[in-house]
Structure 1
Amino acid sequence: MPDTQNYSQKFPEIFEKQTKWIAERSNEITFVLHLGDITNNNNKEQWENASKAMNILEGKLPYAVVTGNHDIGKNGRTDVRDTDLFNQYFSYGKHSKMNGFKGAYEEGKMDNTWHEFKAGGHKWLILSLEFGPRNKVLAWASEIVKAHPKHKIIIQTHAYMYSDETRMSSERGHRWLAQSTGLAADTRSEAPNDGEQIWEKLVSLYPNVMMVVSGHVLNDGVGTLISQGKHGNTVYQMLSNYQTGVHGSENGGNGFLRILNFDIPKRTIIVKTYSPVTDTFKQETDQDFIFENVDFN
């Protein structure tokens, strides 16, 4: 579920239709990822709308959320890393009791968490990392990965891939970087990281990291990249975003979301883009595609 910010602000009924559709298929869906920018302006009204929609999943199936740039700072301006409202509406006390929840970077805060589940004969681990994850958060995430060498790792963070099929980086002249927000003033262990830095400091270093998913970037709102980690493992990386500002978007995104089907016997990951609101699939090749010859061993 990428970038629901405009639903929280203007179209809460679309947000609820998304989660109702997911909840009704809880026997088919193993895990739900929300890629951040849950709200647009980091205010109580929008957090209430978001919480109401996400609560539809309660008791149905596990999910993990991450903060986006619009979820922190005054009016969602990303001037400071303030997650008080996020943690009020997505509380540690509640979500730490969810099936599959295993821990957080800071006990009592949901900013950075990890979950696990079993599916298809494999153990899976979900790492959910804040917008522009700090150096100390990446170090924590590395320890989690190293401690679980038998798990397949999926990382979700709000800003990682860009719409030109590369990872976000100032060296490529990319827009909407964590390094171009108020967070850039933070240094050393507090310093934020953009996509290429996350790759270098975390993703590329471990043989069991399989996938990174992110939202955030506008333009056409999609980007796909297959890279080899330092151990020769293949890492599948995807940007998906349908919000206002993305080319051709309507009604804040019209409820489009990504469906990933991991077919272990066929060694494929099938990617579909669907809207429960319009009951339509996107047919473009960058919205409907298959990763083949996936090594699930």
Structure 2
Amino acid sequence: MTPRILLLGLFGILINACTPKAEEEITFVLLPDTQTYAEKYPDILDAQINWIEQEAANIAMVIQQGDLTQNNNEEEWQLVRNAFRRLDDKVPYVLAVGNHDMGSEPGKFADVRNTTLFNTFFPVAHMAKLPAFGGIFEEGRLDNAYYLLETGDYKWLVLSLEFGPRESVLVWANDVVADHPDRLVILNTHSYMYSDSTRQGHGDYWRPQGYGIGKDTATHAVNDGEQIWQKLVKKHPNIRFVFSGHVLNSGVGTLVSINEAGFPVYQFLANFQEGVTGTVNGGNGWLRILKVNPKENNLFITTYSPYVNAYREEEAHQFQIRYPYLKTGY
């Protein structure tokens, strides 16, 4: 593959097929929308978890982007829980709630903000005992939670927010980030980026406002990607990454924006579920690997499937960001 440079403001993305050196890297594994595996292809989710277990010593954290299940029923939740429990005390992991993980009954997606099954199969009492757990927004509910992680000289805060986070949730999230000014912040939420590499907003498909919960008002009013940027992300100098899934079409998008303090924010959409253009077997086990290389001052993003044991080499799926500004003190 011929290297290609894309200029985004003052920061460049170098598209390259190279693989970074292993030493001094910080590795995050992003595991988007597992819903079709839970419904139809449990062996693919099993392959992903097997690989994570084998690589656990080299992985700082696994971050899942929501839609853990397709139909929000007990059978699928049992399967997903059994899979992730294998990671307990081996590698920290973060889960997000997607629109398919909430509803008044199985098969009704986000008509109401009911996440009873998610919190039954992943109870706070259990999750709070695992590495990196920091705190939650509502007692007994994992829908909105934060995690604290340290990797060498880097201190991280990973903030996982519900699908279409409510106004009250964004108020809480602002407070959590402000209380940890010495930490680099990763925001993880199901719906944020769109497939045209912009933040999801008016005119886009699959906005939270288009579901039943979109009718809620006042402190319960939902927010899409652009609103999350305006009300939360851009206001804090230390929020540097946003990860999301949910959106179909190509299922991918990349955006670098500059926050109010003048620092870059790296925003990524990755989704491989059934319905994404060209997807087979509900995603074929593709996951994202983000490597932070402090020594070489680079970020490397690759897309790998333990199920087929292959990497995707298209520019949208394998690239490097040169000279990211990742200071930990402000």
For the criterion TM > 0.5, the same-fold answer is yes
Aligned to 1:147: 179
The one-letter amino acid of 2:319's match is: F
CA contact (8 A) 1:12 1:53 kept: no
Identity %: 45
Counterpart in the other structure of 2:193: 161
- Post-superposition CA distance 1:64-118 (Å, at most 9, x none): 1010000000224210000000000111010011111010001211010000111
1:261 aligned partner, one-letter code: K
Instruction: Indicate yes or no: 2:166 matched with 1:129.
Output: no
CA root-mean-square deviation: 0.7
Residue aligned with 1:149, SS: coil
1:101 aligned onto 2:137? no
Cα distance per residue 1:193-219 (max 9 Å; x no partner): 000000000000000010000000000
Matched, 1:223 2:223: no
User: Does the 8 Å CA contact 1:211/1:236 hold for their aligned counterparts?
Assistant: yes
Matched residue, 1:258: 288
Letter of the structure 2 residue corresponding to residue 55 of structure 1: R
Q: 2:90 aligns with which of 35, 60, 67?
A: 60
| Aligned counterpart for 2:315 among listed residues 279, 285, 288 | 285
- Over 3 Å off, 4+ runs: none
TM superposition score normalised by structure 2: 0.88
> Does the 8 Å CA contact 1:153/1:208 hold for their aligned counterparts?
yes
2:138 counterpart SS class: coil
Note the 1:1-297 alignment, pairs <5 A.
1-73=31-103, 74=105, 75-170=107-202, 173-297=203-327
SS in 2 for 1:57: coil
Give ranges in structure 1 of 5+ residues lacking alignment: none
Task: In structure 2, give the amino acid aligned to 1:231.
Answer: A
Within 1, Cα distance between the matches of 2:139 and 2:41? 33
Structure richer in strand, relative to its length:
2
- Structure 2 distance, partners of 1:235, 1:76, is 34
Q: Which amino acid counterpart does residue 166 of structure 2 have in structure 1? A: R
Q: Deviations over 1:115-173 (max 9, x none)?
A: 01111411100000000000100100000000000100000000000000100001xx1
Q: Is the 8 A contact 1:129 1:156 kept in 2?
A: yes
Shift in Å, 1:175? 0.1
- Residue aligned with 1:13, SS: helix
| 1:269 to 1:237, Cα distance in 2 relative to 1, 3 A | same
Q: Structure 2 CA distance, aligned partners of 1:99 and 1:249?
A: 34
With 279-288 and 53-62 compared, the bigger mean Cα shift is at: 53-62
Give the AA of the match of 2:220.
Answer: E
In structure 1, C-alpha distance between the alignment counterparts of 2:153 and 2:125, rounded to whole Å: 31
Structure 1 length as normaliser, TM-score? 0.98
2:56, 2:249 → 1: CA distance?
Answer: 32
SS at match of 2:291: strand
**Aligned pair count?**
295
Unaligned runs of 5+ in 2: 1-30
**Residues 16 and 54, structure 1, Cα contact 8 Å, conserved in 2:** no
Whole-angstrom CA distance in 1 between matches of 2:298 and 2:304: 19
